[in-house]
Amino acid sequence: MTRPRPLQTAGRPAEGPLIELTDVRTHFATERGLVRAVDGVTLTIQRGRAVGLVGESGSGKTVLSRSIMGLLPRRGVVRSGSIRFEGTELIDAPRSTLRSLWGREMAMVFQDPMTSLNPLMRVGEQIAEPLRIHLGQSRAEARDTTIRLLTEVRIPSPAERLRQYPYELSGGMRQRVMIAIALACGPTALLADEPTTALDVTVQAQILALLSEERRERNMTLVLVTHDLGVVARHTDEVAVMYGGKVVERAPTAALFRRTRMPYTEALMRSIPTVDDPPHTRLAAIPGRPPDLVEPPPGCRFAARCAYARERCHAEEPSLVASSDDPDHHYACWYPVGTVEPVALRPADPAAVG
């Protein structure tokens, strides 16, 4: 299939920081107290790069991606820190500033394509909407662009799809439509929040390949939120591993896998089964549960589940520091992997439960 050229890539600086996060905190007011979903994240995302945000459920990765977009509930949210997008401060920015960026500069692909498309609107109109409103395209222009976009995301017979409703499409097709919507106005940054979690394994690979390809061709910045380290390894340039609302390890992807420093990252990697394992190998689960984000424990938030934890880990919180041998590799740990002997943690040890 011949692929049309991407719509807009010209006129943008190719390098330099695009999104700069400084001590970003997003807390939710609940009956139990303030949930510190994101609790002090500092991170710079470079233009044109693919950055993975990794962590288990409740680590704060999704809330962080929504914080960058500004797509948070209007009430019950306490935010602080600084989020700069192309130099514009987004925290406390008026809704109108955000709306001028949404769709045009930053776009988002959600996790579940079954619920993220309007069930009562034709697919064509859902893609054409931002084209008409943001780019001022006429009905006919928007139709042509929509067909081009559908072709670009490899949806067969795109002209016929325009008149279909989401329920007439498979999950994979719907996710392609979501990507077409996100790409419609040629955004600078695309935030994909677990874009393949709800899809079949075979379709997952196709969707990720499509996202990577679009990023390269459009020189777009991609923030890929996922719990899957395998996905990160194949599709990102850099990774930030999140735990308990904080970034605990940050490195270029290759370095992260070559020389893992943070015990949590190591535990995540161990929990991935490999084809070399004999049948019926017990999966290496991380014992315990993620920490309570209302009253986080003092010290390292992972200490309760960590095989290397010492007394200091339970008392003092390590900060994110650059590795002595690699200035791009940051980790927050007193006793990084390889410096002390692990202590055996029984998987069902109640004391290990945070």
Q: Does 123 bind another protein (CB under 8 A)?
A: no
Q: Does 134 bind another protein (CB under 8 A)?
A: yes
Residue reference for tokens 């969707």: 207
Q: Residues 38, 54, 90, 107: which binds another protein (CB under 8 A)?
A: 107
Q: Does 167 bind another protein (CB under 8 A)?
A: yes
Q: What is the torsion angle, in degrees rounded to the nearest 10, for the CA atoms of residue 321, residue 324, residue 327 and residue 330? A: -30
Q: Does 169 bind another protein (CB under 8 A)?
A: no
Instruction: Give how many residues touch another protein by CB under 8 A.
Output: 28
Q: Which of 220, 247, 224, 193 is nearest to 81 (CA)?
A: 247
Q: Residues 41, 53, 54, 101: which binds another protein (CB under 8 A)?
A: 101
Contact, 262 vs 248, CB < 8 A? Answer: yes
Q: Applying CB under 8 A, which part among 126-134, 150-158, 280-288, 342-350 lies near another protein?
A: 126-134
CA gap 208, 224 in Å, rounded: 10
Q: Applying CB under 8 A, which part among 118-126, 140-148, 312-320, 332-340 lies near another protein?
A: 118-126
Q: How far is the CB of 314 from another protein (least distance, A)?
A: 39
Strands 238-243 vs 221-226: parallel, antiparallel or unpaired: unpaired
CA gap 50, 244 in Å, rounded: 23
Q: Which residues contact 64 (CB under 8 A, 6 or more apart)?
A: 24, 26, 38, 41, 53, 225, 242
Burial class of 156 by CB neighbour count within 10 A (0 to 12, 13 to 18, 19+): exposed
CB closer to another protein out of 190 and 352: 190
Q: Does 71 bind another protein (CB under 8 A)?
A: yes
As given in the structure block, the two tokens for residue 181 are 């919507």
Q: How far is the CB of 89 from another protein (least distance, A)?
A: 19
Q: How far is the CB of 108 from another protein (least distance, A)?
A: 4
As given in the structure block, the two tokens for residue 351 are 């004391």
- Segment 277-336, which members bind another protein (CB under 8 A)? none
- Per-residue string for binding with another protein, 184-213, x by CB under 8 A? ------------------------------
As given in the structure block, the two tokens for residue 53 are 């945000």
Q: How far is the CB of 95 from another protein (least distance, A)?
A: 8
CA gap 127, 164 in Å, rounded: 12
Query: For binding to another protein (CB under 8 A), which residues are involved?
Result: 69, 71, 75, 99-104, 107-108, 110, 112, 115-121, 129-130, 133-134, 165, 167, 178, 181
